[in-house]
Amino acid sequence: MGLPTVGSPLIWALFVAFIVAMLVLDLGVFSKKAHAITIREAAIWSGVWVALALGFCAFVFLHWGSELGQAFLTGYVLEKALSVDNLFVFYAIFTAFAVPPVHQHRLLTWGILGALVMRAAMIFGGTWLLAHVGWVVYVFGVVLVLSGARMLSRPNKEPHPERSRAYRLVRRIIPTTRADHGQKLFAIEDGVRKATPFFLVLLMIEATDVVFAVDSILAVFAVSDDPFIVFTSNIFAIMGMRSLYFVLAGMAERFHYLQPGLALVLVFVGVKMVVTDLVHIPVLASLAVITVLLAGSIIASMVRTRRARHTTEARPGAGTPSAA
């Protein structure tokens, strides 16, 4: 009996079973007790998820060929990069609502569970549209180009989720309390069931992920239209988001040029979708362009941070009067 094909029900079931098993292991064993995640713990888990993704990529290469293997790797790198911008928004949400570190891991866990369901629905919906409405690929491409252009026109705009219309609307519709009730979603106050700050922050995280998922999933469709490749590359990337968040938390100010770099990536994949019938851009070439754009933005950010640090260190000495 040979290996199941990429689109077979058996291979889908095996992958979903693997993800469920990892979630049960995480929630039931490693995250059973709420605690503040250390950078060391986060780095280990981040490394585990990257290793699992690369192992799965090697599996795809060996059993389904280099074309699908390259598509998975490119989709994974693309989704991982775009998720970094998402993580910085999560950081802004936690800061704005003063979420204690002990609650942040559980919030991200629930947020990712919701993201798994939402992204699966969006991927299957996008796959159906591409299969039955061919011209929608141009719409997807234009959306990505406009999203990238919008990011370029408003670089490093600091988000204020507590001032958003969505947050104000939720507070008008749902009775809420400002009191801290730990990880409870609802609490009884004065005989009325009210949503807790934990619930409101979770709602903000889910809403944020929906917004970011639109761009990231459309971007991966520019790499491959195979639903299994799009789904698995997305899932591996977002499953490692929680641990990556705790590694990167507090470093947002160092990645000054990351958002322009991500914007250029969106513009590139959008253009690729628009010209798909005129120019064929190989997956390997796409991976190279995406890698260069991201690496360039990170290196430029590091250079800027280092120059700023040297300027700050030199400033006190520059102002010291010389001895007569």
Q: What is the pLDDT of residues 157-214, one digit of tens each?
A: 555 555 666 667 767 777 777 777 667 777 887 777 887 778 888 887 877 777 777 7
Q: Identify which of 25-39, 141-155, 202-216, 282-296 has the greatest average pLDDT.
A: 282-296
The answer as to whether 76 is a domain residue is yes
Which pLDDT score, from 0 to 100, does residue 53 have?
93
| pLDDT above 60 for 255 | yes
| pLDDT above 70 for 253 | no
The answer as to whether 267 is a domain residue is yes
The answer as to whether 170 is a domain residue is yes
More confident residue, 48 or 165: 48
More confident residue, 235 or 130: 235
The answer as to whether 215 is a domain residue is yes
Q: What is the residue range of 58's domain? A: 36-307
Which pLDDT score, from 0 to 100, does residue 323 have?
44
What is the mean pLDDT of the segment spanning 107-123?
80
Which pLDDT score, from 0 to 100, does residue 206 have?
78
| pLDDT above 60 for 1 | no
At 194 the three-state DSSP class reads strand
Radius of gyration of the chain (CA): 22
More confident residue, 236 or 225: 236
Q: How many domains does the chain have?
A: 1
- Please say whether the beta carbons of 127 and 227 come within 8 A: yes
Which pLDDT score, from 0 to 100, does residue 249 have?
66
From 211, 223, 304, 196, select the one nearest 256 (Cα to Cα).
304
Which pLDDT score, from 0 to 100, does residue 320 have?
47
| pLDDT above 90 for 54 | yes
Q: What is the mean pLDDT of the chain?
A: 76
Give the confidence band of 31 by pLDDT, cuts at 50, 70, 90. low
Count of other CB atoms within 10 angstroms of residue 2: 5
Give the C-alpha separation, 239 to 265, whole Å: 22
Which pLDDT score, from 0 to 100, does residue 3 have?
54
- Tell me the one-letter amino acid at 133: V
More confident residue, 205 or 135: 205
The answer as to whether 242 is a domain residue is yes
The answer as to whether 217 is a domain residue is yes
Backbone region of residue 65 per phi and psi (left: phi > 0; alpha: psi in -120 to 50; beta: other values): left
Contacts of the segment 313-321: beta carbons below 8 A, 24+ positions apart: none
| pLDDT above 50 for 146 | yes
Q: What share of the chain has pLDDT > 90, as a percent?
A: 5
The answer as to whether 155 is a domain residue is yes
The answer as to whether 321 is a domain residue is no
| pTM score | 0.71
